[in-house]
Structure formats: C-alpha cells, structure tokens
C-alpha cells in the first residue's frame, strides 16, 4: 500500500450536473481501474499514437489537444470527480471521440493498466505544488515516478512538465539532473507569452494572473 499520496480526495463537491455526466457518459469515455493491462487498439478502435495527461483537472488541455489532433488518442487520469464531470460534459458537447478517461491515482494506473513502451507522450501540466516543506514528499515528480513514466514511453517518447511554482521548479530540476532515462530537449522559463507545444491550462491562467512565471520542460526518452 502506498501511503504518501500526491493528492487529497475532495468529496462532496460534485454538482448534480457533474454527477449525472459521470453516470451517463462513463460508458462512452470512462475506463474503470483494474489490475489488467489495457489494449489501446481495442479501447480506441485504431492504432493512432496515445498521449497521456496526468492530473487533467477540468480537462481543458486534454480536450483542446484532442480536438486539434484527430490522428492521436488521448488518455487522461484524474482523481478529482468534479473535474472528471466537467471534462465529460465538455467532451460530449464538443463531440470528441479520441479521449478516454480513468479515475484514480496515476501511479496505480500506470503500474497496473498501461503497457510498457505504449505511449508516445506524457503531459503533466501544473502538478500540485505542495508548497509547505513538510509536504514536499507528496510532490508527484520524484525520481521513481520519472522512471515509471520512462518505462511506459515508446522509443523517443516525450515527457512534458510545466509548473508555476518556483520551489517546485528547483525540485524538478534536481530530479531531472539525477535521472538517467531522459535528456532535456526544452527547458524554458516564461511569462505565458511564448508559443508552446501545449494549450494554456486553467491552473496556469490563475498563476499568470497573479504574475507568476512558468517553467516548461520537454524530456525525451533516451533509448
Ligand atoms: C494543480 S491541478 C492542475 C490541473 C490541470 N492540469 C491544470 O493545469 O489546470 C493538479 C491536478 O492533479 C490531480 N492529481 C494530483 N495527483 C494525482 C495523481 N496521483 N493521479 C491523478 N491525478 C492527480 C489533482 O486532482 C489536480 O486536479
């Protein structure tokens, strides 16, 4: 049993609309957690490359990416029911067909359900910063988590990470320095005005509004 979690489950904040979206749309978009490895061909009914987003929040970036890239499949993992509900409502409204969603801890889903070397790209946009020192151990980006991500990426697969939290950016840099699975292809600090290979996220917009800087990394798996 993993005791240190990168999230706190928030209950009781799901609206009736989000609740009924989960009930009605789960059979179309949802993937139940199980100990059995997924077959992406059966899941998406095609052989397009699969991009995973971890902690998609309300799914803004997941949906924007899926809408712009009809020849890719998008798999999102989130623990927050109200975010999942909002994402499902948007996906249905915009008639997105290349998205599947799993509710659970990304570490468990990666370990149990995602086959090795099966992903083209993993996106982790604005993981919870856990600002207090006593909570730093809860941060998602750790050496073992990067190793797990590397094992799930195919040849030359990419891991994209973004944060707006200075101390988390320093932490991520230290973890990347220690890792042996990835080389750094891009590392930029910016103010949200540069062109990036990703949509702006809801969490990012809040940080930019407060005047925070953003750090983006693109890591490429070393084969
Ligand atoms: C700060 S929010 C960012 C949301 C979104 N990516 C954005 O930029 O707007 C981080 C999200 O990661 C989710 N999260 C944290 N740990 C997770 C885990 N182990 N597995 C899946 N999701 C996780 C949280 O529930 C939360 O919605």
Average pLDDT of the chain to the nearest whole number: 96
The rounded Å distance from CA 42 to ligand 1 centre is: 27
Residue 128 a catalytic site member: yes
Is there a contact between 137 and 102 (Cβ–Cβ < 8 Å)?
no
What mean pLDDT is predicted for residues 154-183? 97
Cα separation, 31 vs 64, in Å, equals 20
Percentage of the chain lying above the pLDDT 70 cut? 98
The rounded Å distance from CA 10 to ligand 1 centre is: 12
Using the predicted structure, report yes or no on whether residue 1 has a pLDDT greater than 60: no
pLDDT, tens digit, 9 for 90 and up, residues 95-119: 999 999 999 999 999 999 999 999 9
* Number of C-beta neighbours around residue 211 at 10 A: 7
pLDDT, tens digit, 9 for 90 and up, residues 83-95: 999 999 999 999 9
Using the predicted structure, report yes or no on whether residue 62 has a pLDDT greater than 60: yes
4: helix, strand or coil: coil
- Which residue among 3, 5, 7 is best mutated to probe the pocket of ligand 1, counting the most ligand atoms within 8 A of its Cβ? 7
> Which atom of ligand 1 is found nearest the CA of 80?
25
Burial class (CB in 10 A: 0-12, 13-18, 19+), 39: exposed
What local confidence, expressed as pLDDT, does residue 216 receive? Answer: 98
> Which atom of ligand 1 is found nearest the CA of 125?
6
What local confidence, expressed as pLDDT, does residue 204 receive? Answer: 98
What local confidence, expressed as pLDDT, does residue 12 receive? Answer: 66
42: helix, strand or coil: helix
Domains in the chain with CATH codes:
16-221 (3.40.50.150)
Using the predicted structure, report yes or no on whether residue 2 has a pLDDT greater than 70: no
């Amino acid at each position: 049993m993993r005791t240190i979690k990168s999230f706190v489950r928030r209950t009781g904040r799901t609206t009736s609309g989000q609740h009924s979206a989960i009930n009605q749309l789960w059979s179309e978009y949802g993937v139940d957690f199980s100990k059995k490895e997924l077959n992406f061909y059966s899941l998406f009914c095609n052989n397009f490359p699969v991009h995973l987003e971890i902690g998609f929040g309300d799914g803004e970036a997941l949906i924007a990416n899926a809408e712009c890239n009809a020849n890719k499949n998008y798999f999102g993992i989130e623990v927050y029911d109200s975010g999942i509900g909002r994402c499902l409502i948007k996906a249905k409204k915009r008639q997105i067909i290349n998205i599947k969603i799993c509710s659970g801890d990304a570490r468990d889903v990666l370990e149990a359900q995602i086959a090795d070397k099966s992903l083209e790209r993993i996106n982790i946009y604005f993981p919870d910063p856990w600002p207090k020192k006593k909570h730093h151990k809860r941060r998602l980006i750790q050496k073992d988590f990067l190793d797990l991500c590397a094992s799930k990426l195919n040849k030359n697969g990419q891991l994209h990470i973004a944060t707006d939290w200075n101390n988390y950016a320093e932490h991520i840099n230290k973890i990347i320095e220690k890792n042996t699975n990835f080389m750094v292809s891009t590392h930029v600090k910016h103010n949200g005005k540069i062109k990036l290979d990703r949509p702006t996220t809801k969490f990012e917009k809040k940080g930019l509004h407060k005047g925070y800087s953003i750090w983006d990394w693109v890591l490429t798996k070393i084969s």
